[in-house]
């Protein structure tokens, strides 16, 4: 059972604020979403009342009205500077916000308190625990804010949406004689923003009945929470010696806030980026915030994939944020259904009613210090209302079944691809004063690897790995990790032991001394700039920027057990870019890696290189999986065509494939560790250990059947039971001298039967095949050799 479901909404649906009108609106929300909320212990309603300025401005007067989020577009367009001299109809909603309806209502604090009270009555009528949350956003988007953009522009330290447009958490306030609820004599010069928001939030929530607060858009996590540049990186250089100071200032915000507001739970949106990205741009001490600030929930997955299609940032960012958690906390999943502000409904338009941004992140999981998987225990929906205050039934009707399916097939085993994440090491390197470049490189590289098809799904921090290595180091798993982890002696020893016992590890990043020893590498004069990358018989042009890629490429293989998989050169010299090292039964692969983008000075987002002219070497991560027993190949009509995004998980001993294919002019060739995957209810052409697919825009596919077969077209169909006493039957046809491997459902390993060339029901007699049982792929697989014709698999 879910712990919590959060329904987010604005005040726009409340067009009649009589008690009866409020009850009608709340009842509609309840009825539309009850199929999901009935599965949760707690229902939370989170209000996007305004932008948080209603908290900043609060004086304790219930009769006072406040500015609220009644706009479509950016409510404070002043942040962009002077608007172009154009007719109003030619100005975008970022330059000229529009009211969502003619003559929108005014709201008082008393009205808001009444709405909160009625929501708790409606949603708690069946004995369900109900929470209501409020929000604080640092930007200019949602409601007119005289506090931020007129009275206290000094707190606008970030340039996220134009010059000085976002509030920075560690800003200090100028003197202000205005009385506020928590500061009846006004604000003194130099008061910390953490102190002011903390006291105001405590009183506002207590008086109006709110139970928690949500910090939006990265608030509390640095300066430029949307950008690649920030307080310690300007796009050209890293300012290592500022990291300790910025860390102190960010942490001071949280301690000041908690001093004034000790008990109010805080939920967080987090930044658009990842732990390492935030460390390298803004010195964000996520480790210390998690461990030392009570009552904080870790960030949700970013909605950025819905806005720009960057699923690598969403998935890598979320995994990096959940590698470690605050004590006693799980983590929430969030899905973008409607946008209450910018006249779009992601489910209907951005996603085109495709559930990829449900199944991809819901296939992610993490391992804790006891080696247990911990899945999200909360689902949040942004939002239940659209920009016009409407709540179309189509959206919950279509979205809820996918959310439930994602919950029901959540990973129950780690792997097959486990990201061993250096949560502590990245923090230590950042604040040691000299390692920030390598921190920057790692997560940005993994982001593009995911965007080019690398199928990561499980994350474990190095600390949790050392505490419970046995949950990761099982047959069939590939451990994927940046080279920096080899500097941790305990981690390095466990990885070496895993390799010597037949395990598989994929390293990436510049090789330090420990990794050089493990992989038999030596260092030469580094190369950088525009280089030629040779992989087999193919030669491609890449760019290796020393700033974004943690220095130049200096590695050369020297050991007889180390095989070179890729080489880079400048026409005069060459270096080894990817190698394979054989161990006794195990195998390690390594990719040096380059970040294939440019960064404008103080830029908000990296710009990818032109793929028509340059190869993205991040793709080598996926290609090198072939050396580790997995094949994921894409046949595209154009090299610049975007790659499918893939996540592979395990549930009930089956493999599941979650995908997003941004361009359907793609053919996918897949080979799993067990063989060519044949997904339930699909047809495919098998050649050797590869199966061929033309996947749809979004897919969530079960796989229990794997083949090795010379060539042929096969089909796997769900079959009617035909007789009582069975749970499922699958009919596999088209086999020609095949090795068939079947992963039985957990608990049915001894109850599975396989009938060759079945006749009509009751399927009680015939040629029942006896399997060989193997556990070498992680979990039980039943193997049948030299099979031709059809198989009826029953359990």
- Report how far residue 626's alpha carbon sits from residue 391's, in angstroms, rounded to the nearest whole number: 48
pLDDT at 561: 87
**What per-residue confidence (pLDDT) applies to 601?**
80
Write the pLDDT tens digit of every residue in 715-770: 999 999 999 999 999 999 999 999 999 999 989 999 999 999 999 999 999 999 99
Return the CATH number of 2-408, one of 3.20.20, 3.40.1000, 1.10.40, 3.30.450. 3.20.20
Tokens of 566: 């890729």
pLDDT lower than 70: segments of the chain: none
Collapsing DSSP to helix, strand or coil, 776 comes out as coil
Q: State residue 433's pLDDT score.
A: 77
CB 323 within 8 A of CB 421: yes
Half-sphere exposure of 71 (CA within 13 A, CB side): 23
Question: So what's the pLDDT on residue 450?
Answer: 98
Residue 434: what pLDDT?
A: 80
* Closest of 232, 266, 263, 233 to residue 249, by C-alpha: 232
State the pLDDT at residue 773. Answer: 96
- The token pair at 489 is 């002696």
Domain 417-629 carries which CATH code? 3.40.50.880
Domain limits of the chain?
2-408, 417-629, 673-686+703-794
Contact 620, 537 (CB under 8 A): no
> What crossing angle do the helices spanning 193-208 and 243-260 adopt, rounded to 10°?
30
Residue entry with tokens 């919590």: 4
CA distance 519 to 507: 10
Helix (H) or strand (E) holding 437: helix 436-451
- Residue pair 258/323 in contact (Cβ under 8 Å)? The answer is no
CB-CB contact of 344 with 388 (8 Å): no
* Strand 504-508, strand 587-591: pairing: parallel
* Residue 410, CA distances (Å) to 336, 341, 433, 477, 486 in order: 19, 32, 40, 18, 31
For residue 408, what pLDDT is reported? 96
DSSP 368-398: -TTS-EE---EEEEE-SS-TTS---THHHHH
């Amino acid at each position: 059972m879910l712990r919590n479901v959060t329904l987010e909404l604005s005040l726009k649906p409340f067009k009649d604020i009589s008690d009866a009108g409020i009850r009608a609106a709340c009842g509609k929300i309840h009825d539309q979403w009850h199929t999901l909320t009935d599965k949760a212990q707690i229902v939370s309603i989170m209000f996007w009342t305004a932008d948080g300025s209603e908290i900043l401005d609060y004086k304790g007067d219930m009769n006072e009205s406040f500015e609220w989020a009644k706009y479509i577009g950016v409510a404070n367009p002043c942040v962009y500077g002077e608007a172009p001299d154009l007719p109003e109809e030619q100005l975008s909603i970022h330059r000229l916000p529009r009211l969502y309806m003619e003559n929108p209502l005014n709201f008082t604090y008393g009205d808001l308190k009444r709405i909160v009270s009625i929501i708790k009555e409606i949603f708690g009528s069946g004995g369900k625990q109900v929470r209501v949350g409020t929000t604080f956003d640092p930007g200019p988007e949602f409601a007119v804010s005289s506090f931020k953009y007129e009275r206290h522009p000094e707190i606008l330290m970030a340039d996220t949406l134009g010059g000085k447009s976002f509030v920075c958490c560690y800003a200090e306030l100028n003197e202000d004689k205005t009385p506020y609820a928590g500061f009846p004599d006004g604000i003194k010069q130099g008061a910390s923003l953490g102190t002011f928001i903390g006291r105001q939030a405590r009183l506002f929530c207590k008086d109006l009945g709110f139970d928690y607060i949500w910090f939006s858009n990265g608030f509390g996590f640095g300066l430029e929470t949307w950008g690649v540049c920030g307080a310690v990186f300007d796009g050209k250089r890293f300012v290592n010696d500022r990291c300790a100071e910025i860390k102190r200032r960010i942490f001071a915000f949280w301690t000041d806030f908690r001093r004034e507001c000790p008990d109010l739970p805080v939920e967080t949106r987090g930044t658009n980026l990842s732990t390492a990205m935030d460390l390298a741009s803004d010195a964000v001490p996520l480790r210390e915030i998690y461990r030392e600030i009570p009552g904080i929930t870790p960030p949700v997955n970013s909605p950025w994939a819905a806005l720009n299609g960057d699923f690598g940032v969403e998935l890598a960012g979320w995994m990096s944020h959940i590698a470690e958690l605050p004590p006693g906390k799980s983590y929430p999943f969030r899905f973008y259904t409607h946008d209450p502000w910018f006249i779009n409904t992601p489910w209907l338009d951005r996603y085109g009613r495709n559930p990829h941004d449900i199944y991809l992140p819901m296939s992610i999981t993490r391992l804790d210090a006891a080696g247990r998987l911990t899945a999200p225990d909360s689902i949040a929906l942004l939002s239940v209302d659209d920009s016009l205050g409407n709540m179309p039934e189509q959206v919950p009707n279509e979205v809820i079944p996918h959310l439930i399916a994602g919950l029901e097939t959540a990973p129950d085993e780690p792997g097959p691809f486990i990201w061993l994440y250096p949560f502590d090491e990245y923090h230590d390197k950042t604040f040691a004063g000299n390692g920030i470049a390598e921190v920057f490189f790692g997560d940005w590289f993994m982001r593009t690897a995911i965007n080019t098809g690398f199928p990561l799904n499980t994350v474990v921090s190095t600390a949790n790995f050392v505490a419970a290595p046995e949950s990761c180091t099982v047959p069939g798993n590939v451990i994927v990790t940046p080279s920096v982890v080899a500097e941790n002696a305990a981690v390095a020893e466990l990885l070496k032991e895993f390799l010597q016992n037949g395990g598989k590890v994929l390293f990436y990043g510049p090789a330090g001394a420990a990794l050089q020893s493990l992989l038999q590498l030596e260092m030469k004069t580094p190369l950088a700039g525009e280089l030629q990358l040779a992989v087999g018989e193919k030669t491609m042009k890449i760019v290796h920027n020393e700033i974004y890629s943690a220095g130049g490429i200096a590695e050369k293989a020297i050991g007889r057990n180390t095989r070179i998989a890729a080489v880079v050169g400048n026409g005069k010299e060459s270096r080894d870019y990817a190698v394979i090292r054989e161990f006794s039964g195990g195998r390690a692969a390594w990719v040096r890696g380059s970040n294939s983008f440019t960064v404008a000075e103080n830029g908000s987002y990296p710009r990818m290189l032109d793929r028509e002219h340059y190869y993205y070497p991040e793709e080598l991560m996926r290609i090198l999986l072939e050396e580790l027993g997995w094949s994921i190949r894409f046949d595209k009509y154009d090299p610049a065509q975007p790659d499918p995004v893939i996540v592979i998980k395990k549930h009930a001993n089956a493999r599941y494939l979650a995908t997003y294919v941004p361009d359907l002019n793609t053919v996918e060739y897949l080979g799993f560790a067990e063989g060519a995957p044949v997904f339930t209810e699909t047809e495919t052409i098998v050649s050797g250990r590869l199966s061929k697919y033309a996947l749809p825009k979004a897919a969530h596919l079960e796989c229990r059947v794997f083949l090795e077969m010379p060539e042929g077209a096969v089909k796997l169909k769900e079959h009617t039971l035909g007789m009582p006493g069975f749970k499922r039957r699958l009919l596999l046809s088209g086999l020609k001298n095949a090795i068939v491997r079947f992963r039985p459902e957990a608990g049915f390993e001894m109850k599975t039967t396989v009938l060759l060339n079945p006749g009509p029901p009751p399927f009680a007699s015939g040629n029942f095949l006896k399997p060989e049982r193997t556990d070498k792929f992680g979990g039980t697989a039943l193997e049948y050799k030299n099979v031709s014709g059809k198989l009826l698999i029953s359990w």
